[in-house]
Structure 1
Amino acid sequence: MQMERRSARRVLYDRVLRGLLYFSAFLTCALLVVLIGYIFYRGLPNVTWELLSTEPSVLRDVIGILPNIINTLALIFGTLLIVLPLGVGAAIYLNEYARSRRMVEIIEFATETLTGIPSILFGLVGMLFFCQVLGWGSSIRAGILTLVIMILPTIVRTTQESLKTVPASYREAALGLGSGKWRMVRTVVIPSSIDGIVTGCILSIGRIVGESAALLFTAGSASILVGNLSDLLGNSGGSLTVALYMYSMERGKIEVGFAIAAILMVLTLLINLAAKWLGKKLKK
């Protein structure tokens, strides 16, 4: 009788936990669907060709976000162009080449600490150093370098954890076949951990696209079209998130804010899909 009661209790316990698990998963998915659906419902009807292809003008009473789209793309690709080689290279060194375990532990602790620091503090430091000490003022390049400092710990940690998942037997087999250290890392370790590197890239893109506080301090909020890349990097420029804040909070144009939010979601989805596709190509 006692065994049967214990068995019944275990079955009941298992069913309750399984039900809670399914309910939590359903609630998470439902919240995500409701949030995305509501943003698209409020935002997509306000997305027009004029909004996407013009710059704002008070004199002509035109609302346009083309400069903000260009600034956002410049911030994303400029940041990734710098942070990916630095972050992946640092992770490879720490995991494959560094001999001092104490030094590795200190760097890991530092990167984990930096990951949890609020972004507005990075913006304050970026404003003081890049904008004032270096004399760049509010500019896209100041925003890019601030984002590099902010994103670098995330890239290092995600890449490092991905490298740790590669079995030691892969390394031993490559070295046993006569491969050098770098050839082993390049042809065996990195392809085996490319999924984690892509995941870190996607997380970084999400943080770059969603960042506003740090960019308000460093990149500014201007919405002006420029003629070349040099002027783009040297001038002040607001991203889409900054434009969303300005239109929604400063000007009270909530519908324009929802339109920008919908554009941000579509842009993030496209870039993430492109990153996953590139990761599959690199893995092959």
Structure 2
Amino acid sequence: MIQISGAPFQPNEKWKLDSIERAIIQHMFNAPVLFSFYSEDDFLFEIKVRKNMIKSANEMNQSEAQFTTFEYASCNPMYWQLTMEGGFLLRPNVQPADAILDIFRNSSLYAFECATAAVILYYRATLYSIGSYLFNSLFQNLYLYSWHTDPDLGIITFYSNHFLPGDVVYINNPDFHPNTPWFRGLNAVLLNDGKFFGHGFSIRTMEQIIQILNEYRKPGSQQSAYLTNLVTRPSFSHLGNLVGQQTNHRAYKMQHPIVHHNNCSISYVQYLYYLSNGINKKDK
């Protein structure tokens, strides 16, 4: 169900929606929960970001970027400094938008795990949605490592039985084999056709993803991998407000702490646990 300015949703022919946008709206309309928006602009902005998340996932799927662990991560040294922990730190005098675009333009130079991939997709979708000028103003201190993000993405995570195209969901593999800990789970983007993109898995159905994860369990395990009800997404309203105000928060913004945990393919909830407990890889 959709509500805009307190009134039931009514399509507007002037919007000229494409097939991806129409699919997103249909998912909202059919959901047994209420999606309420202050204005048409807020509604259309969320649809735009979701569409651009899907487009970005398809771009990454078609790229040559590889899945790997933090130990073997790689990036283009013209744009990023590879840290000892396997993170990508934006180089001085490099525009953030150019660095994010390079991950897709020179994808063969890059390798990273799936939580980092999800964050890259958020940044790419945001860049598509707000333009390079505002993106460069807001995200001047980019550091890509697992679920670490700039505060202005406003990443939120919660439990729900309803997913929308453009959401990142988590597939858990509780009995993953200790020799392949990167198969502990998968962060995946729900696409408009009901399939999922997960970095290292390409685009597949949920059943196919679970089947692959089940091949990397402990011997004798009877516990299947499964789709959790965890949903992770950016704050569409916060990003939309920044666009409306053309606000540069850089001078007042405190960056999130960084947790170098060295565990690939974790959920955002697990990252928050590490963050709240001060867990770094040196402690483990």
Do both proteins adopt the same fold according to a TM-score greater than 0.5, normalized to the shorter chain?
A: no
Normalised TM-score (structure 2)? 0.27
Higher share of residues assigned helix = 1
Greater radius of gyration (CA): 1
Higher relative contact order (CA 8 A, sep 6+): 1
Higher share of residues assigned strand = 2
Normalised TM-score (structure 1)? 0.27
